[in-house]
Structure 1
Amino acid sequence: MSVHQRLITVASVEYKVALWERRLLIELNNAQAPLHRASYQHRFMLLLMMDGILQKLLGEGSEVYEYDLIVIGGGSGGLACSKEAAALGKKVMVLDYVVPTPKGTTWGLGGTCVNVGCIPKKLMHQTGLLGTAIEDARKFVTHNWETMRTAVNNYIGSLNWGYRVSLRDKNVNYVNAYAEFVEPHKIKATNKRGKEMFYTAAKFVLATGERPRYLGVPGDKEYCITSDDLFSLPYCPGKTLVVGASYVALECGGFLAGLGLDVTVMVRSILLRGFDQDMANRAGDYMETHGVKFLRKFVPTKIEQLEAGTPGRLKVTAKSTESDEIFEGEYNTVLIAVGRDACTGKIGLDKAGVKVNAKNGKIPVNDEEQTSVPHIYAIGDILEGKWELTPVAIQAGKLLARRLYAGASLKCDYVNVPTTVFTPMEYGSCGYPEEKAVEIYGQENLEVYHSLFWPLEFTVPGRDNNRCYAKIICNKLDNVRHIFTTMEVTKSSGGDITQSGC
């Protein structure tokens, strides 16, 4: 801070001190002045801290930074946080860069949800449901993958452009470059041409998201695809093996089968780890009775190319997790969906001093989303032990910006969050899985209400009587009153029910 800047700061403090003292002297004539003195002192200190004056006088602001806030990551959480901070009058930069997949797939601003997650998945899920509806009507048509892919990607492109316009309108400086820390308050940004730029900021928000995990076996990166590639795949995948039992695996397998493709899901252990297993198995059973094949207790050991092409032919070798049995099968496409890894390993967090869980790359934070370094925060999928959901990241980003720059105190609720798995029979839930509820409250303190039902839209085509299922788990506080802790439902529109019910 220059001498001139320090003089201005001191003058500002003297002016505010004079105003505070004048108000306090007036109160001294009041009989309750002693009660007000502490209140005024507290409010004055808050005023200094919000203006950044106290930090400057104490030396924290001895260096003038280019930005008040730099957000690393242009996904849902990063965009929400940056726009909120800019709306509060702060100078903000967003850096976003997509490292191409092994297949060369890349995308625009908006993060996983918009480009290779929620949006294309839900659109293709809807297409799969239409295939079932057509079957209900006893009519048969040929699905055109290229037409669907073009329509989906055109819509995503419009969202990418809309995000850029929104940042510009909020006066947020958007830079398409890969960011990594070189010092606690300084980052290096490298664009796709290799040009390096350096920026400084008083505070940082990490919102880098996650990318799909590969198998680590021969041929996985050379011949397999992930969900990052699927939604923009230029050809129909044909006969497909989905490796994994995550929500991504079951959702993708479900809509591909709904399009009439031959789909097999290879499962190592259980379906939808972390979700209610009763509900997860019901969703899986429905998929199996509607054409999706499950190969359980197997893991791939090798993927080989038998024939090049679009899609070509691949040979998959897998071994049993319970015996010496070996499986071999041929497929046109192998989709890997065994989990996702946080994008935190190559952004220089060690140079900034940020602590990271070495096992999974996740970042532990306090209830203010603050990392181990006081001026660096994190939101979204990279947080340890939090929901990996777009609406949660958006809410967390907005609330963080308001706490940092508007004196707000409201924090993000990471417990009672409605979510949906878009399997053919959608699985919607809010609250703890039954297994977790038992662990927390004890079986004796829970009461479970459940029911099979036949939705109206299933009646005329005569579909699946008593396959839809709802469950409500309550915590018994006494003989009269119950506290709702979980609602779960499997139904063709389970997501809508969860959203409206919660």
Structure 2
Amino acid sequence: MYDLVVIGGGSGGLSASKEAARLGAKVAVLDFVYPTFYGTRWGLGGTCVNVGCIPKKLYHTAAIFGHHIEEAGHYGWEDSSRPGIPLEGKGHKHVWERLRENIQNHIHELNNGYITGLRSAKVQYINARGSFKDPHTIICDATCPTCDVVGDRKTEITARRIIIAVGGRPQYPKIPGAKEYSITSDDIFSLQNPPGKTLVVGASYIALECAGFLTGLGYETKVMVRSVVLRGFDRDCAERIKDDMINTGTNFIESCIPLGIELLPDGKRLVTYENVNSKEKFQEAFDTVMFAIGREPLTKELNLEAAGVKVAEDKKIWTWNERTTAPHIYALGDVAHKVPELTPVAIKQGLMLAKRIWGNSKLLVNLDHVPTTVFTPLEYGSIGFSEERAIATFGEDNIEVYHSEFTPLEYTVPHRRSRCYAKLIVNYLDKQRVIGFHYLGPNAGEVTQGFASAFVAGLSLDEWNLVVGIHPTCAEEMVSLRRTKRSGLDPKKSGC
């Protein structure tokens, strides 16, 4: 019998398993990836490493390099074959196949590193899907009807404690041709050929991030949204991101939903869609159609009833500090109900859960002020309350919004049009505590991460303003905010 079996080899499961083993537990990790409908498959490491954060950030970086090439002439660079002619960015070509190959090679190195890491930690890795036979028995099933595996390959193992960390997969809409003629974010990073003219359906951060880097790499890209973009994020910031994407070449098809997809003789996808307000129907052909309309947890095949584990209406698992309705079974990461679907959250949950069970720790994960970044062309970092949620929670008269529109120094020489934005939200009812942080600009992840510590410390606005900024940086804007929304003054900043 194992002390711990982890079902799911993503970031959270690996974090929990290695820490538990370090603290003396006998641990096994089960991980098995079914190919997508399109046929994409990947190795150990979960969504983030294989089809999420890692490839997304690298494709985003590739698009940024394209912008740098276009602006290099303003900084004195010239083509050595054309002396005296500033480098304008014209004539350069992006090679999708080369980028894909280099990124996939890096991901394969990470996959191998995780296997080696489990071996070094003395964690047994079992390449099989796990499901419950009873509260302490796991059926390990390596049978895969869609893989090159034949025969019934099932075994059973038992464990005193079990962690469920299976994550989720992208959803498809229930329309004709959706699965047959489209892809999801699980497939976009592995496409053998350039995507060409692309339709991205969805308004989530995944949809906008993918659309942003596709436009940046030179592909005509349209985003179809039913209502608002980035629901749940600060509305002001979300609209600024959308406006910036439009200004940099991404087109939006608003208030529309797809009705069906057909394959044309030339291989293109004919999308029929409808305006939800006027009910008018349209058609347009694309080389690639990608859905990013949400994700669903992989709980269906776990047979949770046999273990006494209950799920919510969204099929995610009910948890209280990672514990499920079965006292010896835990769930963390994207599969847990009302837990932010973010890799660092799952990692922290796994690490701290193992420390509580085997290391006598009392510390819990604080999910109130989780920092996050959206890697759209104009990057967005946020912590805590959006302006809308702050007003709904504390009342408009009890909060203050400090904000500024600014131009990063590096944008000035090439005359880049994008304007960046900084916003702090303060709660007057709690000693002017800073409760919301929003930053739109370059290197948003790096800027936001450092300020997350201020939220953990619970700094007031006066304490926040004691911080001396580093000049000239974008981050210093966050400690230099003096103009309030309530004042009605123009937030645009001039000078340095």
TM bin (shorter chain): 0.7 to 0.9
User: 1:329 deviation in Å?
Assistant: 0.4
TM-score of the superposed pair, with normalisation by structure 1 = 0.84
**Aligned-partner Cα distance in 2 for 1:450–1:270:** 23
User: 1:501 deviation in Å?
Assistant: 2.4
**Aligned-partner Cα distance in 2 for 1:427–1:203:** 39
Q: Report the equivalent of 2:250.
A: 292
Structure 1 unaligned runs (5+)? 1-65
User: 1:353 deviation in Å?
Assistant: 1.3
User: 1:152 deviation in Å?
Assistant: 0.3
State the Cα RMSD in Å: 1.1
Q: Report the equivalent of 1:327.
A: 282
Counterparts in 2 of 1:6-155, with a 5 A limit?
66-137=1-72, 138-140=88-90, 141-155=92-106
**Aligned-partner Cα distance in 1 for 2:383–2:360:** 30
Q: Could you tell me which amino acid in structure 1 is paired with residue 317 of structure 2? A: I
**Aligned-partner Cα distance in 2 for 1:123–1:280:** 22
Q: Report the equivalent of 2:197.
A: 239
Q: Report the equivalent of 1:260.
A: 218
**Aligned-partner Cα distance in 1 for 2:125–2:95:** 37
User: 1:258 deviation in Å?
Assistant: 0.1
**Aligned-partner Cα distance in 2 for 1:191–1:425:** 43
**Aligned-partner Cα distance in 1 for 2:6–2:410:** 46
**Aligned-partner Cα distance in 2 for 1:501–1:399:** 22
Work out which of the residue numbers 123, 139, 156 in structure 2 matches 1:172.
Answer: 123
Q: Could you tell me which amino acid in structure 1 is paired with residue 103 of structure 2? A: V
Q: For residue 58 of structure 2, give the secondary structure of its aligned residue in structure 1.
A: helix
**Aligned-partner Cα distance in 2 for 1:324–1:75:** 42
Q: Report the equivalent of 2:335.
A: 382
Q: For residue 477 of structure 1, give the secondary structure of its aligned residue in structure 2.
A: helix
Q: Does 1:476 align with 2:431?
A: no
Structure 2 unaligned runs (5+)? 73-87, 144-148, 453-496
Q: Report the equivalent of 2:185.
A: 227
Q: Percent identity between the aligned chains? A: 51
Counterparts in 2 of 1:424-443, with a 5 A limit?
424-443=377-396
**Aligned-partner Cα distance in 1 for 2:116–2:395:** 51
Q: Does 1:451 align with 2:409?
A: no
**Aligned-partner Cα distance in 1 for 2:213–2:299:** 31
Q: For residue 231 of structure 1, give the secondary structure of its aligned residue in structure 2.
A: helix
Q: Deviation per CA, 1:47-75, whole angstroms, max 9, x where unpaired? A: xxxxxxxxxxxxxxxxxxx1010000000
Q: Deviation per CA, 1:7-45, whole angstroms, max 9, x where unpaired? A: xxxxxxxxxxxxxxxxxxxxxxxxxxxxxxxxxxxxxxx
**Aligned-partner Cα distance in 1 for 2:353–2:276:** 44
Q: Deviation per CA, 1:328-372, whole angstroms, max 9, x where unpaired? A: 100000010001111111111111111001x31111111x21001
Q: Which moved more, 1:412-421 or 1:115-124?
A: 412-421
Q: Could you tell me which amino acid in structure 2 is paired with residue 313 of structure 1? A: K
Are 1:307 and 1:314, in contact at CA under 8 Å, matched by a contact in 2?
A: no
Work out which of the residue numbers 110, 114, 132 in structure 2 matches 1:163.
Answer: 114
Q: Deviation per CA, 1:289-336, whole angstroms, max 9, x where unpaired? A: 11000000000010000036xxx3110001111122111100000010
TM-score of the superposed pair, with normalisation by structure 2 = 0.85
Q: Deviation per CA, 1:245-278, whole angstroms, max 9, x where unpaired? A: 0000000000000001000000011101111111
User: 1:433 deviation in Å?
Assistant: 1.2
User: 1:500 deviation in Å?
Assistant: 2.5
**Aligned-partner Cα distance in 2 for 1:336–1:391:** 24
Counterparts in 2 of 1:321-470, with a 5 A limit?
321-357=276-312, 359-366=313-320, 368-464=321-417, 467-470=419-422
Q: For residue 190 of structure 2, give the secondary structure of its aligned residue in structure 1.
A: coil
Q: Which moved more, 1:490-499 or 1:84-93?
A: 490-499
Q: Could you tell me which amino acid in structure 2 is paired with residue 452 of structure 1? A: E
Are 1:362 and 1:384, in contact at CA under 8 Å, matched by a contact in 2?
A: yes
**Aligned-partner Cα distance in 2 for 1:420–1:183:** 40
User: 1:111 deviation in Å?
Assistant: 0.3
Q: Report the equivalent of 1:209.
A: 167
User: 1:493 deviation in Å?
Assistant: 2.1
**Aligned-partner Cα distance in 2 for 1:259–1:115:** 21
**Aligned-partner Cα distance in 2 for 1:219–1:256:** 23
Structure with the greater alpha carbon radius of gyration = 1
User: 1:435 deviation in Å?
Assistant: 1.2
Q: Could you tell me which amino acid in structure 2 is paired with residue 172 of structure 1? A: V
Q: Could you tell me which amino acid in structure 1 is paired with residue 268 of structure 2? A: R
Q: Does 1:494 align with 2:481?
A: no
**Aligned-partner Cα distance in 1 for 2:167–2:415:** 43
**Aligned-partner Cα distance in 2 for 1:148–1:304:** 29
Q: Deviation per CA, 1:437-477, whole angstroms, max 9, x where unpaired? A: 11222211111100000001101101116x11110001113
Q: Deviation per CA, 1:88-121, whole angstroms, max 9, x where unpaired? A: 1010000001111001111000000000000000
**Aligned-partner Cα distance in 1 for 2:391–2:132:** 43
Q: Report the equivalent of 2:461.
A: none
Q: Deviation per CA, 1:215-257, whole angstroms, max 9, x where unpaired? A: 1111010010001011111110000000000000000000000
Aligned residue pair count: 429
Q: Report the equivalent of 1:316.
A: 271
Q: Report the equivalent of 1:34.
A: none
Counterparts in 2 of 1:191-210, with a 5 A limit?
191-192=142-143, 193=149, 194-210=152-168
Counterparts in 2 of 1:275-290, with a 5 A limit?
275-290=233-248
User: 1:432 deviation in Å?
Assistant: 1.4
Q: Could you tell me which amino acid in structure 1 is paired with residue 435 of structure 2? A: T
User: 1:495 deviation in Å?
Assistant: 2.0
Q: For residue 501 of structure 1, give the secondary structure of its aligned residue in structure 2.
A: helix
**Aligned-partner Cα distance in 2 for 1:420–1:375:** 34
